[in-house]
Chains A and B, each alone.
Chain A
Amino acid sequence: MGRYVLRRLLQLLPVFVGTTFLIYLLVWAIPGDPFAGKCGDRLCPDSYVNAMREKFNLDDSLLVQYGKYLANLVQGDFGETFSGIEVSELIANAYPVTLKLALVALVIEGVIGLVAGVLTGLRSGGFLDNLVLVSTLFLISIPVFVTGFVLQITLGLWWGIIDPTVSAEATIPELIVPGFVLASLSMAYVTRLTRTSISENRRADYIRTAVAKGLAPRRVVGVHLLRNSAIPVVTFLGADLGALMGGAVVTEGIFNIRGIGGLVFGAIQTKEGATVTGVVTLLVIVYLLMNLLVDVLYAVLDPRIRYD
């Protein structure tokens, strides 16, 4: 197991270099000069444009630019934005907020999704099953921004239960509604995955054996059934954390959460290559680590899976 983890960690290196390079390339492939619209409807002075181009190495070829960027990055220097703010400071402000939001969303989708999935999986075909089926279908069919605006307007403006936006501190209670919005789609998937998995495994031989052995129903469901049904769900949840972090652009915009979604979106618009590359690289790393964690969890859930 140790060697397997080490090998997987080493694989991160080429992926890291490859993704940063691709992202760097892509940012500069966006048409338009970053300083063309900088002075509004007025032409920026040459001296300003020259100084900025030199400061951000924009006169070098893309490969040289990337080389300089990577050399700084290895030393822990993420570079700075056009307005002179350290990218590392932006990341340090935004990452914890997004991570908090993603975890809140993950807990919500995990708890609600699993409970609903298990309940409906055990009693498939009943009233509850149909109700959950319809409501998950409903959730899947609504785009996130609709859920977001509807909850913001009803809970925030009409009933005044929550503030319509999240403060700069972004405390956990403030993030529950945005987290629910972010989780709504995945929650429906988790419910359906769990339900299918449970109702399939319920007819499996080992469950029949367990029941025939005379085990208590609680133990049959809680240990044998759940543990085996959890594998696809865990895969989904693990991959979803990365998706939740990267995909929060819309939710963050609606609730004015100062996370990485808005940071990346704004940076792409203004062609702040250093910010985009820095943030997305960290996202890639989170994604890879989560996948590794999921793979390791497999072995824990299913003793038949061995990695060495």
Chain B
Amino acid sequence: MGARGVVSRLALAVSVALLGTACGQSEDSGAAQDSAISVYGTEPENPLVPGNTTETGGGQVVDALFTGLVEYDPRTAEPTNAVAESIETTDSRVYTITLEDGWTFHDGTRVTAQSFADAWNYTAYSPNAQQSASFFAQIQGFSDVNTQDPDGSDGPQEAPQPAATEMSGLRVVDDLTLEVTLAEPFAVFPTQLGYSAFSPLPEAFFADQEAFEANPVGNGAFRFVSRQPNANIELTRYEGYAGVKPKVTDVEFRIYETVEAAYSDVVAGNLDFLEIIPSSALAGNLYQADLPGRSLSQTYLGIQTVTFPLYDPRFANPDLRKAISMAIDRDAVNQQIFNGLKPPADGYVAPNVPGRAEDQCGELCRFRPEQAKALFDSTGFAGPIELTSNADAGNTEWMQAACTSIGNALGRECRFVPVPTFGEFRTAINAGEMSAIYRSGWVADYPSIENFLNPLYRTGGSSNDGGYSNPAVDATLAQADAATSEEQANQLYQEAERLVLQDVPAIPVYFQSVQAGWSQRLRNVTVTPFRQLDLDTVEVA
């Protein structure tokens, strides 16, 4: 490390000096008026429509193009009003949302209550086939606009035509007032409103969707300029923005084929921001030497777990699941595989999430080999323990390490059997055909303890792939949803979390963390809990 560190630092000094002399002039002259920055991106997997974008490549562009009723604090993730002036409710069921006057779309048209109602109805309407439709499931009348395919997407039957095109729970009172009635009380609804699926859409979208996809029109701090597939997406500051105007004038999301190439560009000063450090630079924390004072590592709203396929009767005994949880040496995994960058999980909810409580998991998430062995032996589990994961996203090392730890502690062979691609992996999970304990990750859509529980552990939850079901948990979650205050709701969610943890349908392993690096030009860099550069506050030196 010593010699290499010196060499790389020397090399860096030389290259910085060379770069400085080479492009010093052009940068000095343009710095004041023109502060364009470039940010690492991946090719969006869908057209840039908020209700149909769920992955990060398109997500960070959509987030820059659109501003919702609510936005999240870039440091604490606490929701604050953006387009909304106030969101009021007395029973957590009927919400009266008043919009701030003066917000406009990039084509100059006003943002009204109708812009939100139209957008939400469009996304929820099942024939429009939007990925984020289920986010509106709480709104009254959702089942009238969104019908399920009776035999799933593989079956021959088709979903019936929905009875209505608009949800009855959405009422536009006037230009600036929207009344939302939910089917059941849901205290976290105001927090949810900051998720991109709840963005407004301009009339231009409904007039000509193809033209919109080619040239998206939002109401966010940046407007769309151009896009070259597989190369870049360029945005520029929207001068008519009603919120706090960003300091930088232009943003280019530059698409890279490999993270390694992007990293080289950041080190050389060709790319301004990168939120993934390749494993070659994470080894021995080399990136901290390559980018002195220009990198950070922090947790975000993600957790890594391993889930039991509970539809397989072999995993039905909770003692078995507890034994395996206590057999994983999370600290060793963190230190040896991740250089201490990914803290061991002590519950199902990631750090910094509003409503989170510390150490919910307690003893069950600590390394207790003797206890684990005794518990395991009492279950009479036959055969080797098998763990599986997709092998295309850098999960094999820690899964292998966890497996070794389990095998050593329990005195039973543990096999790690990876599946080549994420697509194959998800196909088997979706079909309910897993026969091994499998890796499962979760990154929150919106910052609330609720988002870590309802979708994952409620009976029939949208991501409850393991088939976990506990009536007591369902009842507590329903009670929490119906709470009238956030504090009361959070307490009930915490109680539900403890209940789930006693059943261990999934083992919390570690909290996800982001390692970001940036060029010498950037000042005041904040990485949001959503793993994005905060474009509103970043500055160019």
Contact = CB atoms under 8 A, between A and B. Distances in A.
A50 B261 contact: no
A254 B43 contact: no
Given A39-B131, A42-B462, A42-B463, A254 B260 contact: yes
B130 interface: yes
Interface string B128-139: 111101100000
A160 B421 contact: no
A152 interface: yes
Interface class of chain B by DSSP: mixed
A47 interface: yes
B14 interface: yes
A253 B455 CA distance: 37
Interface stretch (B104-112, B152-160, B354-362, B479-487): B152-160
B258 A85 contact: no
Interface residues of A, number: 55
Interface string A27-62: 000011111111111111111111111000000000
B256 interface: yes
Interface string A94-130: 1000000000000000000000000000000000000
A138 to B, nearest CB: 23
Contacts of B213: 84
Interface string A248-284: 0000111110100011011001110000000000000
Contacts of A163: 265, 268, 270
B46 interface: yes
Which of B22, B153, B229 gathers most chain A CB within 10 Å? B153
Interface in B418-455: 421-427, 430, 440-443, 455
Contact of B158 (A31, A44, A50, A266): A50
A297 B58 CA distance: 49
Which of B133, B260, B426, B455 gathers most chain A CB within 10 Å? B426
Nearest to B130: A48
A164 interface: yes
B47 interface: yes
B33 interface: no
B43 A83 contact: yes
A168 B231 contact: yes
B168 interface: no
B151 to A, nearest CB: 9
Contacts of A269: 392, 421
A160 B148 contact: no
B15 interface: yes
Contacts of B425: 32, 37
Given A40-B54, A41-B440, A253-B258, A160 B427 contact: no
Interface string A124-168: 000000000000000000000000000011001111100111001
B257 interface: yes
B64 to A, nearest CB: 18
B229 A93 contact: yes
Interface in B3-62: 11-12, 14-15, 18-19, 22, 43-47, 52, 54-55, 58
Which of B12, B44, B149, B257 gathers most chain A CB within 10 Å? B257
10 contacts: A36-B424, A36-B430, A37-B425, A43-B462, A47-B130, A83-B44, A157-B11, A164-B261, A165-B262, A256-B258
Given A42-B462, A53-B153, A90-B229, 18 more contacts: A35-B153, A41-B442, A41-B463, A42-B463, A47-B128, A47-B130, A47-B133, A47-B147, A47-B159, A48-B133, A50-B158, A157-B268, A160-B268, A163-B265, A253-B260, A254-B261, A263-B230, A269-B392
